[in-house]
Chains A and B, each alone.
Chain A
Amino acid sequence: MARIELHELAHSYKPRPQGQEDYALKRMHHVWEDGKAYALLGPSGCGKSTMLNIISGLLAPSEGQVLFDGEDVTRRRPEQRNIAQVFQFPVIYDTMTVYDNLAFPLRNRRVAESEVHARVTEVAEMLEVGDLLRRRGVGLTADQKQKISMGRGLVRADVAAILLDEPLTVIDPHLKFLIRRKLKQIHERYNHTMVYVTHDQVEALTFADEVVVFHEGVAVQMGSPQDLFEAPAHTFVGYFIGSPGMNVLPCELEGGHAVAGDLRVPLDNAVIGAARQRQAQKLELGIRPEFVQLSHKPAPGAVAGRVQQVDDLGNFAIVAVQVGEQRLFVKIPEHQTVHSEAVYLGFPPHWTRLYADDWLVQA
């Protein structure tokens, strides 16, 4: 188990990167605390797998260092780092039995056979694959294979961290939940540092203590699921997390208000001051669909709009409202009904965020 520190790390797949855009992973400094579960969340191609491969040593970073418990391991090969990694597609050694598969990492490290037996039995029992031990790798189902791939990481007692690269991609939806729960159990039992890469926000938010959102090679925000939801540090986080994502609309500042067409939202003076100081090219207001207040009566500060569509999802409904040029989404509880097209949308200042050039303005 280890605390992993990424020191001024950057990576480019080109031998001589010219500018920022050549970097798959832009310069960053990051610390993964010992024993915590992290999720790296972002769309495909945002640099999260690159980062994982750098931590495990499959890839040498162009710049910067990787430290395990303060020790520089940047130049060490994967087998010297005591890292377990589970890949998107389960890797199983077809010709070996499940038992031999699980024993493989230990035997490669010349662990005594009695110890191997004890570890394999323990891990098999925990993963509930005890009845498969004598079977060959061929012909197992995808979820069994993925469990065994995980098991190969877990058998090593000294493993510093477990890295998971979209491990549930090929698993049937109804089994995803079970495997995810298994992962949580493993984490609670052994307290490994775990880093879980995914593009599925539900997986990330349910699995991790802290979620890191990646966007174009930059870790735009690291925080608890609640932070990401309530105060996205970047419009991308707002857009990527939540379903539907945050409503973002261009605005201007007038006195103590943010103004977008007829909409006027009073904001904290400190926030307004900070935004002015940044001299941003682009100012935007962001609010989650959950927090927009929809009513049929005009209210001070509320803006008029026309209902375009209502999607009833059972315990709540998503209402699409056209306001001027912009289409906004509002999530309303099941007891509220929409009975005419003309509505008024209110933006509670407490839940309204201001973004300057895509980054959150904070007081």
Chain B
Amino acid sequence: MVDKPINQKAWLLVLPVFVIVAFSAIIPLMAVVNYSVQDIFNMSQPGFFVGTEWYREILQNDRLQDAFLRQLLFSFVILLVQVPLGIAVALAMPTRGFWVSLCLVLLAMPMLIPFNVVGTIWQIFAREDIGLLGRWVNELGIDYNYTADTFDAWLTVVVMDVWHWTSLIVLLCYAGLVSIPDAYYQAAKIDGASRWAVFRYIQLPKMQNVLMIGILLRFMDSFMIFAEPFVLTGGGPGNATTFLSIYLANLLQASEFGPMSAFSIVYFLIILLFSWLFYTVLTRMGKGT
């Protein structure tokens, strides 16, 4: 064994990282922590310390619990639709030739549109009076109105998110698929493998890593979704599409800094927890234990 040299100057080399992380993450977060334990009436006067009161209030709030369950359901539905759909589209894509670039460009398009613009597009597109889609659906004799009906509102938000973000899953899966050497498919043919077996034993394992990243990203993004439903439904009808972030924005508008900060911390911890859970479960699956 070689003794490692001890040189305390090495700390200087990691110092810039500490500084960057401090300014980009820790200090802003601490500001929120600071607010969450104080009662502030007015920004110009010092608040007074209230301990965990805001946290207790937030966690016992019915409307927030509803928003939380709504949020979970939304993320769950989104993943349930986007993951299989994304895989299916990736499998159907051509692997070489002119059509590849065309498909990739078309798929990337929705992801390039700013979030609130997506909301605006769908807000108009799905309107039952002047929207191309809304009008057309009503013409077919189906009663559809996303501003009045809970189910219609949910459907529109889900379809909008599917339209906006399925491409991400497609692109990630496609990247996994094109990295599979031809020999695998040839060997599978000779082994007499069915289409399903080829998917299950060749394509899925090769897509697994990128798919895991895709699921994580889609989960986190959908759990934090704000601009699109805010523009589209404003959280309505009633509270039907009030997700966590929309609830948070409502608190901000009401200048309730204490509860808002306490809630932000809780929100952050929830996302951290779920992401960790997903990551752990999926990497375990990868190792096959």
Residues of chain A touching chain B, judged by Cβ–Cβ distance below 8 Å, are 53, 56-58, 77-79, 83-85, 87-89, 91, 93-96, 104-105, 108-109, 136, 149, 152-153
Contacts and interface: CB of A to CB of B under 8 A. Distances in A.
Given A88-B183, A91-B187, A104-B197, 19 more contacts: A53-B186, A56-B190, A58-B186, A77-B189, A78-B189, A84-B190, A85-B186, A85-B187, A91-B183, A96-B201, A104-B193, A105-B191, A105-B192, A108-B191, A108-B193, A108-B197, A149-B187, A152-B191, A153-B190
A108 B197 CA distance: 9
Interface residues of B, number: 16
Interface in B233-289: 288
A87 B192 contact: no
B202 A109 contact: no
B190 A79 contact: yes
Given A88-B183, A89-B181, A136-B288, A79 B189 contact: yes
B contact patch SS: helix
A178 to B, nearest CB: 23
Nearest to A84: B190
A95 B200 CA distance: 9
Contacts of A57: 189
A79 B192 contact: yes
A149 B190 CA distance: 11
Contact of B205 (A79, A95, A153): A95
A252 to B, nearest CB: 50
Contacts of A95: 201, 205, 288
Contacts, number: 54
A56 B183 CA distance: 13
A84 B189 CA distance: 10
Contacts of A84: 190
B37 to A, nearest CB: 49
Nearest to B201: A93
Contacts of B191: 79, 104-105, 108, 152
Contacts of B197: 104, 108
Looking at B181, B191, B201, B205, the one whose CB has the most chain A CB atoms below 10 A away is B191
Interface string B172-183: 000000000101
User: What 3 A-B pairs come out closest when comparing CB atoms?
Assistant: A79-B192, A91-B187, A108-B192
A83 B192 CA distance: 10
Contacts of B189: 57-58, 77-79
B194 interface: yes
Contact of A109 (B181, B192, B201, B288): B192
B184 interface: yes
A77 B186 CA distance: 11
Nearest to B202: A93
Contacts of B194: 108
Nearest to A95: B205
23 contacts: A53-B186, A56-B190, A58-B186, A58-B189, A58-B190, A77-B189, A78-B186, A79-B190, A79-B191, A83-B190, A84-B190, A85-B186, A87-B183, A88-B183, A91-B187, A93-B201, A94-B205, A95-B288, A104-B193, A104-B197, A105-B191, A108-B191, A108-B194
